[in-house]
Amino acid sequence: MRAVITPAATKPSKSPRIKILERIVFRTARPQMELVIHGNRAGYRRLSKLIGELVEDGVPDFHEHTHVDDEVDSWVVKRSVALNIRGPVRKWTKRAIEPYEKVIYERLPSYLPPDIDYLSKESFPYELPSVNNNPWLSLNDGHKALG
C-alpha cells in the first residue's frame, strides 16, 4: 500500500482535524490501494503524538496498537477509514510479525474491492490527491451525505 500525506490545511486553524481515506490507484499495471491523510497542523500534531507515544514506550510487541477512528475520535472527520497504528518491531522478521505475516507479505483476496476488473491504468490514470474543492478530503463533517 502506498501512503500520501498532504500539506497541512490552514483552516480550521485551532482544533485538530484529520481525514483518512483509501482509494484504488494504478501506479503500475496492477491496481493498488493508496492511503491518503489530510489534516491541519493541529491534526497532524495529534496523529504524530499517538505514533510517538508508541515509539517512545518502546513496545517490543507488534500486537500493541492504538486506534484512530471517526466513530470514537471527534478530531477525525466523519467517513474516514480507521487506522490501527502498531508498535514498532525491533527486528523485522516473519516471526516478529506473526500472525500478520500473510497480510503483509501476500496480497490477500480482501486487499482490493471485488468487481474492479473494468478499471485499468489507461482508463484510470494516476493523479495526486488534490484537496482543493474535493469533498472527500474536506476537514468538515458537513459532507456526510456524499456517496
Q: How far apart are alpha carbons 33 and 27 in whole angstroms?
A: 10
Least confident of 14-28, 48-62, 108-122: 48-62
Rounded average pLDDT over 11-30: 90
Q: What is the pLDDT of residues 76-91, one digit of tens each?
A: 999 999 998 887 777 7
pLDDT at 145 exceeding the cut of 50: no
- The residues with which 20 forms a beta bridge, in sequence order, are 37
pLDDT at 22: 93
How distant, in Å, are the alpha carbons of 10, 72, 93, 113, 142 from that of 83?
A: 24, 12, 23, 18, 22
Q: Where are the domains of the chain?
A: 2-116
Q: What's the pLDDT score for residue 121?
A: 92
pLDDT of residue 105: 81
Instruction: Name the nearest CA neighbour of 6 among 134, 110, 131, 142.
Output: 131
pLDDT of residue 142: 61
Percentage of the chain surpassing pLDDT 90? 38
Position with higher pLDDT, 17 vs 1 = 17
CA-to-CA distance for 95 and 85, rounded, in angstroms? Answer: 19
Contact 139, 39 (CB under 8 A): yes
Nearest residue to 104 (alpha-carbon basis) of 67, 69, 57, 62: 62
pLDDT in tens, 33-71: 999 999 999 999 999 999 888 877 766 667 778 889 999
Supply the pLDDT for residue 61. 66
Most confident region among 43-52, 93-102, 138-147 by mean pLDDT? 43-52
- Residue, of 81 and 92, whose pLDDT is higher: 81
